[in-house]
Amino acid sequence: MKKRVWFTVSVCWLGLLACTNKADYFEESGSVFHTLYTIKYQSPRLLTEEIDRELQEFNLSLNPFNPHSIIAKVNQNEPVEADEWFTEVFNKAQEISERTNGVFDATGAPLFNLWGFGFSKTDSVTPQLIDSIKTFVGYKRIWLEDKRVVKDDPRVILNFSAIAKGYACDVIARLLEREGVTNYMVEIGGEVAMRGVNQNGVCWRIGVNKPEDDPNGINRSIEDMVQPCRKCGIATSGDYRNFYEKDGKRYGHTIDPRTGYPAGQNILSATIVAENCMTADGYATAFMALGSEGAIELAKSTPEIDYYLIYLDREGRRQITYSAGMLGYLPNRKALDTLEHPSL
């Protein structure tokens, strides 16, 4: 189902007696890739058809649940050429995998399936099953030669779910910019690409949810607000909505592909701001598997990202930490920090 609303923004120039319509802000919402989206943008006209067409083409490239998509054919070892979208996502995934020493790995889908967070579920998990699956998991087992995907084992499969929603936001943002749109906010499944200002002339604000156990996505309590006031992407990852309990033990959806087991790290929620949403999405996932200490260490060598982490310390107390650059995007905390540190 799609819903569209719009409202007019008027601009009054000093000294003039009348206001003239500048442009309309439109809001469109619906469902794509088994998740919800909301797109807000300022434009002289509705861009519904263009947005729908772009999402459908994206679906034919990177949706693993669509049997006609490029990624599905790659996973089925059918002959297919990679398009520009597939190539860009694949290369970014490989880049993040290299930087994280395999903590982020798009070939880890069989392990996610094994633990019940992927395409299918397995009734029981054993060390033998994990070791067996790990023989064909690893980002170095797959590569691109021109437009052809090459595997060293036909059982290798790809799942870009940890990065594709962010990239979809970027794809729609690029479409809007091609149409001359300079003020927009694209949100798909919680990942966001933004530029400019909202209908009130204020920089877009994105809420960081409190990491409370909420598998149904009902609770929307806000921990903080992020307001970058620049073109960027924002992504948040957390285990508080995607988990299950079995035999008295909780299993989160963050799997470490290197070990084959749930990462079990201390981060409750990782929010990343980057130049684009695909990058933010990938690193948000990687941070969850690295834990707070590993994530902060990685950030030192990754200057293109800023982070906001909610985590548990060694005594089990909830803590918040963020990068120096992120402070500039946190209007509430920036005001408090300025009062405590007048030199800021």
List pLDDT tens digits, range 39-73. 999 999 999 999 999 999 999 999 998 999 999 99
With a CB cutoff of 8 Å and minimum separation 6, the contacts of 146 are: none
7-21, 78-92, 208-222: which range is least confident on average? Answer: 7-21
Per the structure, the count of domains in the chain is: 1
For residue 132, pLDDT over 90 is answered with yes
Question: What per-residue confidence (pLDDT) applies to 32?
Answer: 85
Q: Domain for residue 318, yes or no? A: no
For residue 105, pLDDT over 90 is answered with yes
Q: Domain for residue 223, yes or no? A: no
pTM above 0.75, yes or no: yes
Question: What per-residue confidence (pLDDT) applies to 16?
Answer: 33
Q: For 189-206, what is each residue's pLDDT tens digit?
A: 999 999 999 999 999 999
Identify the CATH number of the domain in which residue 99 sits: 1.10.3980.10
Q: Domain for residue 254, yes or no? A: no
Among 91, 99, 164, CA closest to 304:
99
Instruction: Compute the average pLDDT of residues 159-178.
Output: 96
Question: What per-residue confidence (pLDDT) applies to 253?
Answer: 62
Q: Which residue has the higher pLDDT, 248 or 110?
A: 110
Helix (H, G, I), strand (E, B) or coil at 177: helix
Domain that holds residue 151: 57-158
With a CB cutoff of 8 Å and minimum separation 6, the contacts of 135 are: 153
Q: Domain for residue 227, yes or no? A: no
With left for phi above 0 and alpha for psi between -120 and 50, is residue 248 left, alpha or beta? Answer: left
